[in-house]
A = this chain, B = another copy of it.
Amino acid sequence: MGTTILDAARELGVGIENICGGRQTCAKCRVNVATGQFAKYGLTSSAEHVSPVESREAAYRDEKAIRADERLACVTKVCGDVVINVPPEAQAQKQVVRKSASNRVIDVDPAVRQVYIEVEPAAIGDRRSDLERVQQALRTQWGFEQVTLDAKAIPMLGKVLREGQWKVTVTIWQEREIIRLLPRYAEGMIGLALDLGTTSIAAYLCDLRTGEVLATETAMNPQIAYGEDLMSRVSYGMMNADGVSKLHRAVIRAVNALAVNATKACQLRPEDIVDMVIVGNPIMEHLLLGIDPVELGGAPFALTVRQALDLKARDMGLKLHPGAYVHLLPAQAGHVGADCTAVALAEAPHKSAELTLIVDVGTNAEILLGDEHGLLSASSPTGPAFEGAQIVHGQRAAPGAIERVRIDPQTLEARFKIIGQELWSDALPAEAINATGICGSGIIEAVVEMFLAGIINGEGRFIEREHPRLIADADGRRRSYLLASAEQSSSGTPIVITQADVRAIQLAKAALYAGVKLLMTHYGNPNIQRILLAGAFGSYIDPKYAMMLGLIPDCDLARVVAVGNAAGDGARIALLNKGQRLEATHIAQTVQYVETATDKDFQTAFVEAIHIPHAVDKFPHLADSLPANIGVGAERKRRRTTTQVMVNSALSDQSPLPTETDS
């Protein structure tokens, strides 16, 4: 007779949403009492078997427009056999599915919790302070012991209690600190997950009750003004008296601006953000914290901090809610940061039976290799070429950028596709194309196609000759390839791929591949069962071309998947689930880190990987179509880059080239 549906469900292990603590305020616990015989349970359920609607509930039902078939689980008592249907919106444990390779289900259980309490009013003879009475309400109504009050909330406490007539909604961090007080019953608990990249910053504004992403905002990292890659920023900090401070202030301003923009998109304010998770590579995180990253610029690459940190946003200069904390996920070593930990958190390779290689390509590439038996990690300094920087007509992946390229090996004519258009360039009038530049995936395809068409050799050198597509430079040397004509370009200037562009891509891919190679060597050169390409770049790249360029090792092409911004997803997971923060620390502590910067095998692998792996062994049909001089290059290369020849086996049945009969 005395048990509410809420309590009965809890005893049976079914959580029903309940923010107000059974005070008929939140109306989140609406359930249906089923009617009829339930043979499988051996009972007859009836609306008569629960307590009738009492006067207070009746009034409340009108106010909240509760349907006739709905009852509030918090006040409705079980009086006999009943079957209760709990609709999804009333289920306590919200879940979000990460739409990616892993399709992981994330329980929404954030580090902040918001509860409604009714506080004993101040009275003569009661010496207790407002805070003590709030603490008592939290203890008796929610079971929170020893909750403190953030310094910045102290001046508000008395006002909020009286404005709410002793009914307040309290936001509590990690079950131990009140960080926000709102009068009366209130909803709304917003968090921000941030992926702080060298080139770009991505912010995800999340509803911390439902787990929903409310807004996604990205911005360029303004530190680019002080250096495009990590090492140039370290140098800037070293060479300029105020350098570190400038870099620090620039990124803090950028994060604050993202918080403003993301909240504005939802008619919210940055002060509504009550929790935040940030991931980034070590140098980005050090600069974020105001730490001079000079130690990360040379051996022994000592991190100042590596563990997860919980810091007050205000102490970092971040303008969120005054009481909000920022959680920084743990880094692993000098070159593998919280972003890599976040990728592992998002893709959970350490929980997979399949041997997985994860490559997160940014200005630095983070590489993870392993399965449920253990993980290896490494970092490779790819530089920003894959992000379109250091390429003459390079640009970020954005509408107008050339993202796909095909070159006819006979005519050397190019056809391409730009982001934002359905049709390829050869299906459009030249003036309708308006190409603005070439992005990372475009340049990768261009280099592979240029090699296959005999425009460059396996060493990446232009095979110079008279041809309308080969443009002469000031010295008269024909070492640029005309990809898009002046008519096809938005600026009226032709878009070309230069010798320097090819070199930049070769260096970037060699760095990445050498890192992968190093981990594979450490692992005993295993057969990789799946490859996940993470990062914005990973989403655009065609896995076939990545393999043909020698970016990633041999694998069933169907098992190479782009997983988007996995680091950002990992940050979001840690924002939504406090247990995953502990999981991140577990990952960071157990992953085996392999230092590329001081490994001589890495240097060797890097030099070997400079070349473009030829596809002749695996694609014999190509042999005839290749110009004679390519064969020579391939001969030399085969000797020097034996480990890379295996790379392309997966391409055999999915050749991107015109299918011809085998010779």
Interface of A toward B, CB cutoff 8 Å: 122-132, 149, 151-152, 154-155, 157-159, 162, 289-292, 295, 299-307, 311-312, 315-316, 331-334, 593, 595, 598
Enumerate the 7 nearest inter-chain pairs by beta-carbon distance, A residue then B residue, closest first: A122-B302, A129-B306, A151-B315, A129-B303, A155-B290, A127-B333, A124-B300
A334 neighbours in B (Cβ, 8 Å): 127
A311 neighbours in B (Cβ, 8 Å): 151
Provide a sorted-by-A list of 8 A–B residue pairs whose CB atoms are within 8 angstroms: A129-B303, A129-B305, A129-B331, A151-B315, A154-B291, A157-B305, A158-B292, A162-B295
- Cβ-defined contact, A131 with B306, below 8 A: yes
A303 neighbours in B (Cβ, 8 Å): 127-130
| A-side interface mostly | loop
A305 neighbours in B (Cβ, 8 Å): 129-131, 149, 154, 157
Kindly state the separation between the CA atoms of A621 and B128 in the bound complex, as whole angstroms. Answer: 52
A301 neighbours in B (Cβ, 8 Å): 124
Q: Which residue of B lies closest to A135 (CB)?
A: B307
For residue A162, give the distance in angstroms from its CB to the closest CB of chain B: 8
A131 neighbours in B (Cβ, 8 Å): 304-307
For residue A296, give the distance in angstroms from its CB to the closest CB of chain B: 10
A152 neighbours in B (Cβ, 8 Å): 315
Kindly state the separation between the CA atoms of A600 and B317 in the bound complex, as whole angstroms. Answer: 53
Q: Which residue of B lies closest to A133 (CB)?
A: B302
- Cβ-defined contact, A289 with B155, below 8 A: yes
- Cβ-defined contact, A122 with B154, below 8 A: no
Q: Which residue of B lies closest to A330 (CB)?
A: B129
- Cβ-defined contact, B306 with A151, below 8 A: no
- Cβ-defined contact, A158 with B332, below 8 A: no
- Cβ-defined contact, A158 with B306, below 8 A: no
For residue A161, give the distance in angstroms from its CB to the closest CB of chain B: 9
- Cβ-defined contact, B132 with A306, below 8 A: yes
- Known interface pairs A155-B290, A291-B154; A304-B130 also in contact (CB < 8 Å): yes
- Cβ-defined contact, B593 with A127, below 8 A: yes
Q: Which residue of B lies closest to A312 (CB)?
A: B151
For residue A446, give the distance in angstroms from its CB to the closest CB of chain B: 39
Q: Which residue of B lies closest to A157 (CB)?
A: B304
- Cβ-defined contact, B129 with A290, below 8 A: no
Of the candidates B128, B292, B302, the one whose C-beta lies within 8 Å of that of A155 is: B292
Q: Which residue of B lies closest to A322 (CB)?
A: B315
* Assembly stoichiometry (copies): 2
- Cβ-defined contact, B289 with A129, below 8 A: no
- Cβ-defined contact, A129 with B304, below 8 A: yes
A290 neighbours in B (Cβ, 8 Å): 154-155
- Cβ-defined contact, B158 with A302, below 8 A: yes
Kindly state the separation between the CA atoms of A128 and B311 in the bound complex, as whole angstroms. Answer: 20
Kindly state the separation between the CA atoms of A306 and B149 in the bound complex, as whole angstroms. Answer: 12
Of the candidates B126, B129, B289, B302, the one whose C-beta lies within 8 Å of that of A307 is: B129
A159 neighbours in B (Cβ, 8 Å): 292
Q: Which residue of B lies closest to A131 (CB)?
A: B305
A129 neighbours in B (Cβ, 8 Å): 302-307, 331
A306 neighbours in B (Cβ, 8 Å): 127-129, 131-132
Kindly state the separation between the CA atoms of A307 and B598 in the bound complex, as whole angstroms. Answer: 55
Kindly state the separation between the CA atoms of A607 and B663 in the bound complex, as whole angstroms. Answer: 120
Kindly state the separation between the CA atoms of A143 and B122 in the bound complex, as whole angstroms. Answer: 45
- Known interface pairs A154-B290, A300-B122; A307-B127 also in contact (CB < 8 Å): no
Kindly state the separation between the CA atoms of A123 and B295 in the bound complex, as whole angstroms. Answer: 11
For residue A588, give the distance in angstroms from its CB to the closest CB of chain B: 10
Kindly state the separation between the CA atoms of A595 and B125 in the bound complex, as whole angstroms. Answer: 8
Q: Which residue of B lies closest to A302 (CB)?
A: B122
- Excluding A131-B307, A157-B305, 17 further A-B contacts by CB distance (< 8 Å) are A122-B295, A124-B595, A127-B333, A127-B593, A129-B303, A129-B304, A129-B331, A130-B304, A131-B306, A149-B305, A152-B315, A154-B290, A154-B304, A155-B291, A155-B292, A157-B304, A162-B295
A123 neighbours in B (Cβ, 8 Å): 300
Kindly state the separation between the CA atoms of A299 and B127 in the bound complex, as whole angstroms. Answer: 11
For residue A147, give the distance in angstroms from its CB to the closest CB of chain B: 12
Kindly state the separation between the CA atoms of A129 and B291 in the bound complex, as whole angstroms. Answer: 13
- Known interface pairs A315-B151, A316-B151, A332-B127; A158-B122 also in contact (CB < 8 Å): no
Kindly state the separation between the CA atoms of A246 and B132 in the bound complex, as whole angstroms. Answer: 27
For residue A589, give the distance in angstroms from its CB to the closest CB of chain B: 10
A127 neighbours in B (Cβ, 8 Å): 303, 306, 332-334, 593
Q: Which residue of B lies closest to A132 (CB)?
A: B306
Kindly state the separation between the CA atoms of A36 and B496 in the bound complex, as whole angstroms. Answer: 97
Kindly state the separation between the CA atoms of A154 and B154 in the bound complex, as whole angstroms. Answer: 26
A595 neighbours in B (Cβ, 8 Å): 124-125
Output the residue of A291, A332, A595 with the most chain B CB within 10 A. A291
Q: Which residue of B lies closest to A149 (CB)?
A: B305
For residue A114, give the distance in angstroms from its CB to the closest CB of chain B: 22
Kindly state the separation between the CA atoms of A299 and B157 in the bound complex, as whole angstroms. Answer: 18
For residue A581, give the distance in angstroms from its CB to the closest CB of chain B: 16
Q: Which residue of B lies closest to A591 (CB)?
A: B127
Kindly state the separation between the CA atoms of A315 and B323 in the bound complex, as whole angstroms. Answer: 11
Kindly state the separation between the CA atoms of A154 and B300 in the bound complex, as whole angstroms. Answer: 19
Kindly state the separation between the CA atoms of A311 and B291 in the bound complex, as whole angstroms. Answer: 25
- Cβ-defined contact, A302 with B151, below 8 A: no
A124 neighbours in B (Cβ, 8 Å): 299-301, 595, 598
- Cβ-defined contact, A154 with B292, below 8 A: no
Kindly state the separation between the CA atoms of A336 and B300 in the bound complex, as whole angstroms. Answer: 58
- Cβ-defined contact, A126 with B158, below 8 A: no
Kindly state the separation between the CA atoms of A306 and B132 in the bound complex, as whole angstroms. Answer: 8
A295 neighbours in B (Cβ, 8 Å): 122, 158, 162
Q: Which residue of B lies closest to A316 (CB)?
A: B151
Kindly state the separation between the CA atoms of A306 and B134 in the bound complex, as whole angstroms. Answer: 12
For residue A368, give the distance in angstroms from its CB to the closest CB of chain B: 16
